[in-house]
Amino acid sequence: MLKLFVPGRLCLFGEHTDWAGHYRTMNADILPGMAIVTGIEQGIYAEVEKASNFEMHSDAAEMKDAWRDFSCRMTETDLKRVAKSGSFFCYCAGVASYMLEWYKVGGVRIRITNMTLPMKSGLSSSAAICVLVARAFNLLYNLNLNTMGEMNIAYLGEQRTSSRCGRLDQACAFGVKPNLMTFDGDEIEVQSLNVKKTLHWVFADLCTAKDTIRILSDLNKPYPFAQNEKEQNLHRALGEWNHKIIERAVKYMAEGQVEQLGQLMTETENMFEEYITPMSPALQAPKLHEVLRDPAIQPLVYGGKGVGSHGDGSVQFLARDAESQKKLVDYLNSEGMRAYQLTINPVHTVRRAIIPVAGFGTRLYPATRGLKKDFFPIPCADGMVRPVILILLEELVKSGIEEICLVLGSEEERKLYTEFFETPLSAEHLSKLNTEAQEYENRILDIGKRLRYVYQKEKRGFGHAVYQAVEFTHNEPVLLLLGDTIYRSHRNKPCALQLIEEYERYNRLMVSIHSVPLTEVSRYGILSGIWEDKENTILNVSAMNEKPKASYAEEFLGVRGNDGKKEYCSVFGQYILTPEVFQQLETDIRKADEGNDHTREIELTSALEAVRSNHGMMGVRLDGEMYDMGNPDALCRCVAAFSKPKE
C-alpha cells in the first residue's frame, strides 16, 4: 500500500491565460499564456493499492457529509458513464477511464485518510483528486509517467466530464512550490521559480457563490479573433500585459522584493477589473472588492487580488510578516470566511560541501605509500601543475561554496592539508616564483580558510564516512564530491554550479548523472526514471541499482529519449544531499550498532534509495566530463585531457 499527498493549487498571477494561450493553434497573433502557480499546504492524503474494481473510500472527517463510498467495474463503458453523470465521483472516473483505455491497467482502491483542502473555492480540489487518481495508477502499475505526464492525464480525464477546467489547474502535480507555466497552443512548459525571501500568503474562501461556467463561456466568446476594442483589450490583458506582469513577479520573487510583489497583486487586480470584468456579468464580485478594500486588512498586507476564474469565489493577500499573516487569518475567519495560510519559503542555497579523502588508494599502490591520491599532480592547460584536491576545491570556490569539510582517516593526516593550504611558503621559496605564481599563492591560502575537518576512525563504508560531517551540514543541503574524481565543464559554468542551480529549482535530493554504454553498466550504480524536460537533462529517478547485469539493465533500466532509444544513466560523482539523507544514515548506523554488527558497511547508495522512495530524487545531466582518479588507466586519461585547452 502506498501513501500519497496531492496539494491544492493557488494561481498567484496569470489566471485565464492557460485557455487563452490554447487559441494560438487558431490565431498565431495571440501570445502564449503565462501563469505563476503554486501548490498549497492544504491537500488530499490517501492510501492506494491495487484492486479488481475502481474504488474510492474516505476516512476523512472533513468529507463525511458529502462522501459516499464508491465502486465501479473497471470497464470503459461503466467508467465513462460515471464521468458524464456529473456525480461526485465523475472526475475520478474520467481519469480512470483514460488510464484503462490507453494503458490497459487493472483497478485501484483509493482511501482518503485526510482532506485539508476546501472544495469549490478556486483552489482546484477537482484537479487535485484527478492528479491523485493518475498518480495512483502510475505508481501502482509502474507506468513510468513523469510529473508532466500525470498532469496531462489528470487534465484529459477531467475533460471527459462536464467540466471545462484550464490547463493550470493540474499544477498541483508539481507539489508545494511556485512554478512558471507557459501555455503555447497545445504545448506546456513548467519552470520552477526561485524565491529569495519568505512569502506569507493568505487565501480565503469568500463563502459566496460564483458561476465559473458562465465566466469561462463569456470570456471565450472573443476568441480566437477579437471583433472590437473591448475584445482587443481582453486579448492584451491575457497576452502582452500579462507577460509584463509575470516578468515583474518573477523578478520580485527572485530578488526578495516582497513589498513590490504585493503592490503588483493590487495592480493586477485593478487591470482585471478594468479590462476583463466588463466581459462577463458573472465577474461582478461585490464581496471580493469589499474584502480587498477592507480598512482593517490594509495594515496587515502589501496587496491582494482574486483567485482562479475570479468572481466571488476566493481572495488572496500577501501579508507583511508571519504575525500579520496569523492576524489576517483570524480576522477573515471571524468575518465568516474560511481562511488559510500559505508560507512559501526560500530554497536553501547550497553553501557547504563535503569531500571524503580517507581512502588509501589501493589501486594506485605503491605511489600511495608516499603520496595521498588526492595530492597526485595533474598538469593543467594554463601551465600549472595542481594536485587533485586543489582542482576540486577551486571548482567549489567558483561555484559559491563558503565552507568545505574534508573527511580524513585520522587526525594525523590533517597536518598534510594544513601545511599545504594554511602554511605560507617561506620567503626563500616565494621569491623564486614569478608574479603570477606569487598571486596564486594567496588564492591557495584563501581556500585554506574555508576548510574544516572531521575524521572517519572506523572504516565502515562510504555512507559512514559521509555521516561524520553531519554536524558540519547545520541541517542544510550540502554538496558532496568524491575525493578521487575531478570534473571539467564544457562551458564557463563549473559542473558543481550547474548542479546547485538545478537544486534551487527543484529543492530535492539531487544526483549528477551521465550516460554509460550498456556493456559497462555492471561497473556502476545505474539510475532509471523519466525525463522531466524536452532536453533530456533532468531525470525524475524511479529506481537505483548498484552494478546490475547488462541483461537486467537492458530490460528494466533503460531511459528512453525523444528518439525512443534507450540510454543507461550512471552517477557522475556529484550529489546534493538533503537533511533526510543524514537522518537515514543515522538510522542505518544505529540499527547496525544495536545488532552489534560493527563490520557491516554503511552504504550511501542504500540511504539515497530510501530517501528517493519517500521524498523523490532528481538526476541532472551536467555539461562536462568526469575523470575518476582511482586507477592507473583513468589517471592517464585525466592527465592527457587536462593538459589540453578547452575546445
SS3 state of residue 354: strand
Q: Cβ neighbours of residue 289 under 8 Å, at least 6 residues apart? A: 273
Q: What local confidence, expressed as pLDDT, does residue 122 receive?
A: 56
C-alpha cell of 24? 494560438
- Residue 170, pLDDT score: 77
Residue range(s) in the chain whose domain bears CATH number 3.90.550.10: 352-642
| Residue range(s) in the chain whose domain bears CATH number 3.30.70.890 | 199-344
pLDDT at 510: 95
pLDDT of residue 121: 57
Distances (CA, A) of 437 to 86, 385, 396, 444, 627: 77, 11, 21, 10, 26
CATH class name, domain 2-190 = alpha beta
- The class of domain 199-344 in CATH terms is alpha beta
489-515 pLDDT, tens digit each: 988 889 999 999 888 878 889 999 999
What local confidence, expressed as pLDDT, does residue 265 receive?
Answer: 98
Q: Residue 124 has what pLDDT?
A: 67
Quote the pLDDT of residue 438.
82
pLDDT for the residue 168: 80
Q: Mean pLDDT, consecutive 10-residue segments, the chain of 647 residues?
A: 88 94 95 93 91 93 75 95 90 95 95 82 76 94 85 89 74 83 90 87 91 91 96 97 97 94 98 97 95 97 93 94 97 95 82 87 80 86 88 92 92 90 85 83 91 90 93 94 89 90 86 93 90 90 89 91 88 93 94 77 90 90 86 83 77
Cell numbers for 291: 474584502
CA distance 226 to 467: 63
Q: What is the 3-state secondary structure (H, E, C) of 2-57?
A: EEEEEEEEEEEECCCHHHHHHHHHCCCCCCCEEEEEEEEEEEEEEEEEEECCEEEE
pTM of the prediction?
Answer: 0.70
Exposed/middle/buried for 239, CB within 10 Å: 0-12, 13-18, 19+? buried
Superfamily name with CATH number, domain 352-642: Spore Coat Polysaccharide Biosynthesis Protein SpsA; Chain A (3.90.550.10)
Phi-psi group of 336: left, alpha or beta (phi > 0 → left; psi -120 to 50 → alpha; rest → beta): left
